[in-house]
Chains A and B, each alone.
Chain A
Amino acid sequence: MSNPTLVMYDEEFREVNEVIERLLKEANAKVIFLVDKNGQLISGVGETERFDTTSLASLTAGNIAATGGLAKLIGEKEFSILFHEGEKDNLHISIVGGRVILVVLFDNRSSLGLVRLRVKKSSEELSTIFEKLMNKSEEREKRGSSDFPFAEITDDDIDNLFS
């Protein structure tokens, strides 16, 4: 398999949320999302209830994938920052640690400069957390001690889902 399954534990989830909560305040942003490169929403803070977060996550990942494809065509590894400017709201999208996507939605109460500056700092912290997370998963895999919730499910459990 080209990519191992991404597993998020409580401890790292809290750490990640602390970082993006702080970024939300420091960058004066409206909403911040963290999305897996495959389009799965990892976490979101701010006015998340106003948005269709699942669709946002999937489209962001599609966007990153498409621009990544463009980058390769012109000989770049990737475009690590995307910026979309709207009439009122803007989106700042960046790749963190080569693996997850950080989406910052902000309006005229903030500025692109401020967001870029704060994102840079938070990205480093997030990278460290995700690296730790990957190591943790790998270690567990090596030990063979899977605490995987699905290891114990029965065929009946699966059948019940579809009944």
Chain B
Amino acid sequence: MSFINYASREINCKIVYYGPGLCGKTTNLQFIYQRTAPDAKGKMISLATETERTLFFDFLPLSLGEIRGFKTRFHLYTVPGQVFYDASRKLILKGVDGVVFVADSQEERIDANIESLENLRINLKEQGYDLDKLPYIVQYNKRDLPGAMSVDELHNELNPTNVPEFEACATTGEGVFETLKAVAKLILIDLKKGK
């Protein structure tokens, strides 16, 4: 749910990065944070455990520029990927405008990917959303690893609805901004339609 403020001429939107544990959601945000000009970003907040696993969420505010005199701001969130943090994941999906599903390309993680994707659908439904109607992008992360499955295989398992998909390596940043731009664009197009 976006927030439009005529008084300050701002439009705020919320993007959530979802996916199984250790798939690279936080790494996506960290790369975006590192490569964004200081005036376009706010502080990145990570609520993580001592071992740097996301406990509640990571948060990164970005401003993209103006459209027709309105400042566009995007709030990027990640969810904790580990299965037992499901209650927290549900909370973060509240008011979401667009979703990025970050998949781990490694063969041994395919079951975790599928489980997380089902979990995303269920949790969205609980909040009254339908994944098929939301701006939604799939990112195949960790393409650089030797155990990575082919994109075709991943597509068959994880993207039956043919939403835009990107290959990525979040540690080097490959595909990270392409993913962000694609989801931001889908959200803006959605807003244009006036929902």
Residues of A near any B CB (own CB < 8 A)? 1-10, 13-14, 36-40, 42, 52, 54-55, 58-59, 62, 65-66, 68-69, 146, 148-153, 155, 157-159, 161-162
Are B67 and A5 closer than 8 Å at their CB atoms? no
Point out the residues of chain B lying under 8 angstroms from A13, CB to CB: 5-8
Are A8 and B4 closer than 8 Å at their CB atoms? yes
Are B1 and A1 closer than 8 Å at their CB atoms? yes
Point out the residues of chain A lying under 8 angstroms from B68, CB to CB: 149-150, 152-153, 157
Are B194 and A65 closer than 8 Å at their CB atoms? no
In the complex formed, the residue of A with least CB distance to B129 is A2
Are B185 and A149 closer than 8 Å at their CB atoms? no
Point out the residues of chain B lying under 8 angstroms from A3, CB to CB: 1, 95, 128
In the complex formed, the residue of B with least CB distance to A159 is B185
Query: Measured between alpha carbons, how far is A157 from B145 in the docked complex, in Å?
Result: 38
Q: Is the interface of B mostly helix, strand, loop or mixed?
A: mixed
* Least distance between A85 CB and chain B CB atoms (Å): 21
- Interface residues of B, count at CB 8 A: 46
* Least distance between B178 CB and chain A CB atoms (Å): 10
* Least distance between B86 CB and chain A CB atoms (Å): 11
19 contacts between A and B (CB under 8 A): A1-B128, A1-B195, A5-B3, A6-B3, A7-B4, A8-B6, A10-B7, A38-B14, A40-B14, A62-B57, A62-B92, A68-B91, A69-B88, A69-B90, A148-B4, A149-B68, A149-B69, A151-B194, A162-B185
Query: Measured between alpha carbons, how far is A73 from B168 in the docked complex, in Å?
Result: 39
Q: Which of these binds chain A: B58-66, B102-110, B150-158?
A: B58-66
Query: Measured between alpha carbons, how far is A99 from B189 in the docked complex, in Å?
Result: 26
Query: Measured between alpha carbons, how far is A44 from B80 in the docked complex, in Å?
Result: 30
Neighbour of A42 across the interface among B5, B11, B47, B64, CB < 8 A:
B5
Point out the residues of chain A lying under 8 angstroms from B14, CB to CB: 38-40
Neighbour of B67 across the interface among A36, A58, A146, A150, CB < 8 A:
A150
Known: A2-B127, A150-B192, A150-B194. A37 touches B94 (CB 8 A): yes
Point out the residues of chain B lying under 8 angstroms from A10, CB to CB: 6-7
Are B75 and A4 closer than 8 Å at their CB atoms? no
Query: Measured between alpha carbons, how far is A161 from B185 in the docked complex, in Å?
Result: 9
Point out the residues of chain B lying under 8 angstroms from A65, CB to CB: 91-92, 94
Point out the residues of chain B lying under 8 angstroms from A149, CB to CB: 4, 11, 67-70
Beyond the given A1-B128, A59-B59, A149-B67, please list 5 additional residue pairs across the A-B interface where CB-CB is below 8 A. A7-B3, A9-B7, A13-B7, A36-B3, A58-B61
Known: A37-B94, A55-B43, A158-B67. A146 touches B4 (CB 8 A): no
